[in-house]
Structure 1
């Protein structure tokens, strides 16, 4: 049974101040403020549309579908990477307990004008993973049919929901510091086809994705900001599991495998994560000594010298890991 709204809810209207970080080639970066009245149905795309049509026709932004499908209206709202169409103005007012809403373009990307950013770098990363299905020749020639099982569809469905908005890349610290990292969106799209049994470019995709997958820092920012709950970081974890199928591995991938093995051995032997030992096994003696000198200069050596004791009933942990019956 649908509940009736209170009169105060029906008539709720609030005046907000929208502070927009603007940019153009002539003037550079500057801030501009606008005021308007909104109600509980007003999306931030509607706020921007009203500002542009009623107050300032020079304001530039992107928006298309207004229903979280096209990804065009990605921006920062009160310093949060969001889709403007999926954000109600009054939700921001209540969440931050202020009538001022700060609107900015996405981070990382070059700003072209106001809230519009250059997405060329984003698209180039996406195209590197060849973001479409390459079926077998027999299927293309209509000589065979290849169906997707319900189990395969269940695995792929979530990762196929990426709308190329760029929010995950804009919030990813690894993209900023490592040019070889493809970014969360490219990995979500790449794994969607890597795990598709109908695709024929498995080896080629693997070569593109594996090295990059080990460059992720697992900060989970992409997980937090994705408006479609795609969970790009999950695809990166799943892609790493395919490393064993790659014949020629990069140094980064080999180091990553050593790290995983070292963690496994540490937990199997002690039930704990012996970080100093894991580091030594992963990076070798020379690198470990160099980094040990760095920790000594910063007064953190004692953390590396902690001797871990095995947990009680270590056999139970080993049994869970398949080591003992």
Structure 2
């Protein structure tokens, strides 16, 4: 009976793997491969089988096979994933189809097949100085670097980034704003910004704050991170440090005005008065320009809505600490 159960668990199923390939000579093209998988077959194993048994010209990256190195990032059925953390039959069941598509990550230039050029990604990561800079007395041995349990608790989650690039590949803000460092860089940057043993707080803050206000909060990085690092949380936390920065840029100043406008709106009415918040944040000239745009598109009515105060507003203010 036990032998029969094991055989059932290892029952194989044929899948059709469609790989979006690329070479400088041929450009982009799709190629199909058929092979058998079982309930334990990872997508990295699927690729290894294709390369060793069917097509040695297929190019992809993989190393640890256990979601630690971040090498096997790609799109599987359109989803940014680690191939090693994805079981072939899970994809089959999720999409109710034996067809699995593999594509290189978005945003990064493709070198060959599923291999992308990560120079831009590494440039962003190194821009935030991703290592600890201890004070001089620590290096001289005259003081001991200590990390309290509560500090470790704050840092641990954000230290789990494996530099896979999935969050950056799925981030719309990175694609439209070259000044935005990207989710992974912010996760790594905040990990050291919040470390009490680090000695370059001001320098780090200057690097991170302006970029943090460029995030659009789409939560794509939150959705695709294979290690549950939550890069968007580090961006929010970095924004809270803006008040400690002495020389703030225009983006950071605008961001602070926006936060205050939202706070004041909720305090006054219990609601988010979007038109008022926009006017307070960006000023009259910008508001008039954008009002003309909304008029041309027939949406000015939404901006003219007069919000009424909610009942029991005092309860809201109490929650706000007022």
State the TM-score bracket (shorter-chain normalisation): over 0.9
Q: Which residue does 1:238 correspond to in 2?
A: 237
Secondary structure of residue in 2 paired with 1:158: helix
Secondary structure of residue in 2 paired with 1:132: coil
- Size of the aligned set, in residue pairs, is 321
Return the alpha-carbon distance in structure 1 between the equivalents of residues 304 and 45 of structure 2. Answer: 58
Matches within 5 A, 1:89-104: 89-104=88-103
Return the alpha-carbon distance in structure 2 between the equivalents of residues 5 and 321 of structure 1. Answer: 62
Matches within 5 A, 1:294-313: 294-313=293-312
Return the alpha-carbon distance in structure 1 between the equivalents of residues 134 and 182 of structure 2. Answer: 26
Matches within 5 A, 1:184-263: 184-263=183-262
Matches within 5 A, 1:55-204: 55-204=54-203
Tell me the TM-score normalized by structure 2. Answer: 0.98
Gaps of 5+ in 1: none
Return the alpha-carbon distance in structure 2 between the equivalents of residues 262 and 313 of structure 1. Answer: 21
Residue 139 of structure 1 deviates from its aligned partner by 1.1
Query: CA-atom RMSD, angstroms?
Result: 1.2
Residue 4 of structure 1 deviates from its aligned partner by 10
Residue 6 of structure 1 deviates from its aligned partner by 3.7
Secondary structure of residue in 2 paired with 1:282: helix
Q: Which residue does 2:281 correspond to in 1?
A: 282
Structure 1 residue 319 corresponds to structure 2 residue 318: yes
Gaps of 5+ in 2: none
Q: Deviations over 1:55-84 (max 9, x none)?
A: 000000000000000000000000000000
Residue 10 of structure 1 deviates from its aligned partner by 1.9
Residue 140 of structure 1 deviates from its aligned partner by 1.3
Structure 1 residue 50 corresponds to structure 2 residue 55: no
User: What stretches of structure 1 move > 4 A for 4+ residues in a row?
Assistant: none
Return the alpha-carbon distance in structure 2 between the equivalents of residues 60 and 256 of structure 1. Answer: 44
Residue 144 of structure 1 deviates from its aligned partner by 1.6
Return the alpha-carbon distance in structure 2 between the equivalents of residues 72 and 5 of structure 1. Answer: 37
Return the alpha-carbon distance in structure 2 between the equivalents of residues 259 and 5 of structure 1. Answer: 64
Tell me the TM-score normalized by structure 1. Answer: 0.97
